[in-house]
């Protein structure tokens, strides 16, 4: 019976993988190790794989998707992944970025991951550009970007949520659990140096993805990371 169940499970997994491939989706995290990814090791050991999940914990570092050949790059794409926050955690997913040895990535946009961290910019924000704000008592609105006020973050600590990030041309759409949080079109002639403070790289181009480790007390989990290249 055990052998039969194992074969059934393997068959189901093979079917799911084949189905994903047929639809153009490609898995970029194997749930076993960090193959295809490169950490900048600003703080060593922030990124580990446990129980098929990517654990992000321990401080500021960034994990960049480089692919099998080390040159992964996307322009138009859709990225799907599952994320779980813990109390007070803060993280993010960058796109159109590139590897750098330390610091917050200079290039690309960040899709915020934050349910209960004190930063008022919550999950589903296009960080600094279109901010999903849940302000605590006494907090002031941050400067820069467009603000959408909500009573609570669209994600909940301890619960997996679906994050969908889609870029086509100048159009960026972020969704959390199937609900659109950001629908943004980058304006023609967009100059982030003039529009934003300390975020000169917030501009569409092309590049790879990065997952953010934020601070020593932050622990976040990721799994089921799939990407589809779009025309």
Spatial distance between the Cα atoms of 226 and 25, rounded to a whole number of angstroms:
6
> In 10 A of CB 141, how many CB atoms?
12
Q: Which two tokens stand for residue 37?
A: 């990814």
Spatial distance between the Cα atoms of 151 and 149, rounded to a whole number of angstroms:
7
> In 10 A of CB 188, how many CB atoms?
6
- Give the pLDDT confidence score for residue 21 in this predicted structure: 54
Consecutive 10-residue averages of pLDDT for the chain (231 residues): 42 44 89 98 97 98 97 98 98 98 97 97 97 93 92 97 98 98 96 86 97 97 98 97
| Angle, alpha carbons 125-118-92 (nearest 5°) | 40
Residue 193 lies in a domain: yes
| pLDDT, tens only, 55-83 | 999 999 999 999 999 999 999 999 999 99
Q: What CATH number is given to the structural domain containing 208?
A: 2.60.120.560
Which residues are CB-neighbours of 38 under 8 A, at least 6 positions away? 63, 64, 66, 70, 99
Residue 142 lies in a domain: yes
- Give the pLDDT confidence score for residue 195 in this predicted structure: 85
Residue 2 lies in a domain: no
Query: Would you give the end-to-end CA distance of the chain in angstroms?
Result: 46
Residue 154 lies in a domain: yes
Residue with tokens 């501009």: 203
Residue 19 lies in a domain: no
Residue 11 lies in a domain: no
State which residues form the domain around 31: 26-229
- Give the pLDDT confidence score for residue 22 in this predicted structure: 60
Spatial distance between the Cα atoms of 52 and 69, rounded to a whole number of angstroms:
23
Q: Are 145 and 130 in contact (CB under 8 A)?
A: yes
Residue 9 lies in a domain: no
Residue 215 lies in a domain: yes
In eight-state DSSP terms, residue 139 is: P
Overall number of domains in the chain: 1
| Residue 17 host element (H or E) | helix 2-22
Q: What is the CA radius of gyration of the chain?
A: 18
DSSP 23-78: TT-EE---SSS-TTEEE--SSTT-EEEETTEEEEESSSEEEEE--TTS---BSSEE
Residue with tokens 């990124």: 47
Q: What is the pTM of this model?
A: 0.90
Task: From residue 163, give the alpha-carbon distance in Å to each of 1, 5, 106, 111, 142.
Answer: 37, 31, 23, 9, 24
């Amino acid at each position: 019976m055990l052998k039969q169940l194992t074969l059934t499970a393997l068959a189901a997994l093979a079917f799911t993988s084949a189905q994903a491939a047929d639809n153009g989706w490609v898995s970029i995290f194997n749930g076993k190790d960090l193959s295809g990814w490169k950490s900048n090791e600003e703080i060593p050991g922030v990124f580990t794989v446990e129980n098929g999940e990517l654990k992000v914990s321990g401080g500021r570092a960034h994990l960049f998707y480089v692919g099998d050949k080390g040159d992964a790059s996307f322009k138009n794409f859709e990225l799907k992944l599952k994320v779980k926050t813990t109390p007070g955690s803060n993280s993010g997913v960058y796109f159109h970025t590139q590897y750098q040895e330390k610091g917050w990535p200079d290039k690309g946009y960040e899709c915020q991951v934050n349910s209960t961290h004190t930063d008022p910019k919550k999950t589903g924000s296009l960080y600094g550009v279109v901010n999903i704000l849940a302000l605590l008592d006494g907090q002031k609105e941050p400067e820069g970007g467009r603000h959408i006020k909500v009573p609570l973050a669209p994600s909940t600590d301890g619960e997996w949520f679906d994050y969908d990030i889609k870029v086509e041309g100048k159009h960026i759409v972020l969704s959390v659990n199937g609900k659109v949080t950001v629908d943004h079109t980058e304006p023609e002639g967009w100059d982030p140096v003039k529009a934003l403070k300390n975020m000169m790289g917030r501009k569409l181009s092309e590049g790879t993805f990065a997952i953010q480790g934020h601070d020593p007390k932050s622990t976040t989990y990721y799994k089921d990371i799939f990407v589809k290249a779009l025309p």
